[in-house]
Structure 1
Amino acid sequence: MDFSNVTRLPIGGPGGTRSARAELRPAYDRRTGMFSLQLWKGGRRLADLVGFRHADEPLSAVNSFLAAHGVRALTVDEAMVLYAGLIQAKDGPNWLALRYPGRCADRPAPSAPGRAARLHRRIAVWWGRQR
């Protein structure tokens, strides 16, 4: 899998059209230790979804956030790529585990608590299958 595309997630139009209507950009603020998502449309930053301590937390709020801005909901595959983008934005051991799933998929990164560890493990296994 090419990891160069996890910093920006283009969201196609309704009905499966491939042209990107919007783009989500995952971010991590090292100063505050918080994850966030930036919604971009037409080359402009439209809105931010902020205030998440763990990388899996924005996934439960992203579809309602997108709906509020007239953007379709994410597919499961897009949500997994978004999660990988959030992990990459923070960097560290979780990113290494996603980068090298064959070596790390059977054990979560030590910093990932409970639910996040299970999600991280599922995504690492899924990501390994996409290669």
Structure 2
Amino acid sequence: MAIDPDKIDPKKTLSDQEIAARLAAELPAWRLEDGWIRRTYRTSSWKGTLMVINTVGHLAEAAWHHPDITASYAWVEVRLMSHDAKGITERDLQLAKKIEDVVGWQPGAEPGTALAGTPHGDLRFAYIKYD
């Protein structure tokens, strides 16, 4: 669904029904829970966990929107909610989409690319457990 950027009110909160529909259509791995949109990324090790955290941090800082992050050895949970609007806004959904695009990128899955991705089957190089 294309959105006209001139018609976006960054503080307009979306209803639970609007959020659920957008998540189902655009971000199926994300969920609405306790007033946040959330996504848990599984990783293969602490190295992968740190890569995800740094990627999310870079994207959030560039977007001037700051998620809550909880991490452990082999997973990262990203939570988004616009604190100034006290709810989920278009900003949250757009940042979630950018995070999903970048963290979920699998170079080896793209045909005809010189970017082959990390070697499969060798745990020294594993970092993200793709859905």
Greater radius of gyration (CA)? 2
TM-score exceeds 0.5? no
Tell me the TM-score normalised to structure 1 length: 0.31
* Structure (1 or 2) with the greater strand fraction: 1
Tell me the TM-score normalised to structure 2 length: 0.31
* Structure (1 or 2) with the greater helix fraction: 1
